[in-house]
Amino acid sequence: RDWFQKTQGVWISPLFPPLPSTHTSDADISQTRFKTDLIEYLKSYTSVEINEWIQTIRRHDLSAAKVFLVGSVPGRHMGADNKCRFGHLKLRRLLSEFGPSAKNVDSSWPAIGQFSSIGSLGPTADKWLTNEFLSTLSAVCGAKSLVTKPRLKLIFPSVENVRTCLEGYSGGGSLPYSSQTHRKQTYLTSYLHSWRSERTGRSIACPHIKTYTRLSGDSKQMAYFVLTSANLSKAAWGQLEKNDTQLAIKSYEIGVLFIPKLFTNQEFFEISKSEDSDKLSNNCFPIPYDTPLTPYSLNDEVWTWDTPHTQMPDTHGNAWIPQT
């Protein structure tokens, strides 16, 4: 079901050639430091099996990778350098160094998060979501003091999205957001947008993909794109602690960051409007959902997987009665 009935995302690397025979190296000549960051991430597992793969990676040239690696590793990462090695601070640092220019991207470019699970984000939006996390998504190069935060838009399936998807209500089993958590953060509803992907024919394929980006106000250009395993949670992205001196992360995550300049020498990607033109080489980027986004209507309800739905049958004629 994950492959045939959901919307997923996968990044496929270039073919990485082997280094000269018997030669292993951690040397990284790529602009994205992909090899260095991948080895650092894998080392954090302290696993014998994974260590074998690290040795394989060392024997290959990964300099053709044009994406940046953004990983999360459990722990409290302390110090100015260490706290920016993983989680959302790693993304913030990369966007500050390689992201869009402050003179070309202003507050009219909304930050967009799209995901398949939501964690506990705090009693008010500014506790983490619109303060710490949005500061990362809106990071730019240049005169940052002149930049105001953009609007935040979040894409997460509504009950109607789930009811009418290929799997029906059972598709919501892969969208683990609890009603108890939502009752503590109902402010989230004002940021939510429905899952809609008519362009790709995937409106009925429930999203399990997780992406983060910034789009122009007219939804025609994109400043960057993150494809990741990290859902919208402090556990996945990290939370600053002790006067911002450390970043606390609770889960392993991994993702890749696309910066337009590394693919096309252009400041922005163009948003693809046709499935046939989804080619990075043409400066068109295949985002998984339709633009402009579709805000929740007054009748829409955020999907929570432990809430029964017995009044309206799904696409298979079934009701939803969660197991307790």
CA contacts within 13 A on the Cβ side of 122: 13
Query: Does residue 321 fall inside a structural domain?
Result: no
pLDDT 10s digits, 180-196: 999 999 999 999 999 99
How many structural domains does the chain have? 1
Query: Does residue 262 fall inside a structural domain?
Result: yes
Query: Does residue 193 fall inside a structural domain?
Result: yes
Q: Is 66 annotated as a binding residue?
A: no
Q: Residue 21: what pLDDT?
A: 76
Mean pLDDT of the chain: 93
pLDDT, average across residues 294-298 = 96
Q: Which of 88, 208, 309, 316 is catalytic?
A: 208
Beta strands in the chain (DSSP E): 6-7, 68-72, 75-78, 111-114, 152-155, 192-193, 206-207, 210-215, 221-228, 239-241, 246-249, 253-258, 269-271, 284-285
Q: Are strands 152-155 and 111-114 parallel, antiparallel or unpaired?
A: parallel
Higher pLDDT, 21 or 160: 160
> Does 208 qualify as catalytic in the annotation?
yes
Q: Residue 301: what pLDDT?
A: 98
Q: Residue 277: what pLDDT?
A: 45
Q: Residue 265: what pLDDT?
A: 85
Query: Does residue 305 fall inside a structural domain?
Result: no
Q: Residue 282: what pLDDT?
A: 76
pLDDT 10s digits, 229-258: 999 999 999 999 999 999 999 999 999 999
Q: Residue 216: what pLDDT?
A: 97
Q: Residue 30: what pLDDT?
A: 84
pLDDT 10s digits, 99-120: 999 999 999 999 999 999 999 9
Angle at 315 between CA 167 and CA 309, to 5 degrees: 90
212: phi then psi, degrees, rounded to nearest 5: -145, 140
pLDDT 10s digits, 259-291: 999 998 899 999 977 655 445 657 889 999 999
Question: pLDDT class for 25, splitting at 50, 70, 90?
Answer: low
Domain hosting residue 145, numbered range: 34-285
**CATH code at 48?**
3.30.870.10
Query: Does residue 26 fall inside a structural domain?
Result: no
10 Å CB burial of residue 15 (0-12, 13-18, 19+) is exposed
pLDDT 10s digits, 139-185: 999 866 656 799 999 999 999 999 999 999 999 999 999 999 999 99
Query: Does residue 313 fall inside a structural domain?
Result: no
Q: Residue 1: what pLDDT?
A: 87
Query: Does residue 298 fall inside a structural domain?
Result: no
Q: Residue 23: what pLDDT?
A: 65
Query: Does residue 308 fall inside a structural domain?
Result: no
| Global pTM value | 0.95
What residues have CB less than 8 Å from 292, skipping those under 6 apart? 219
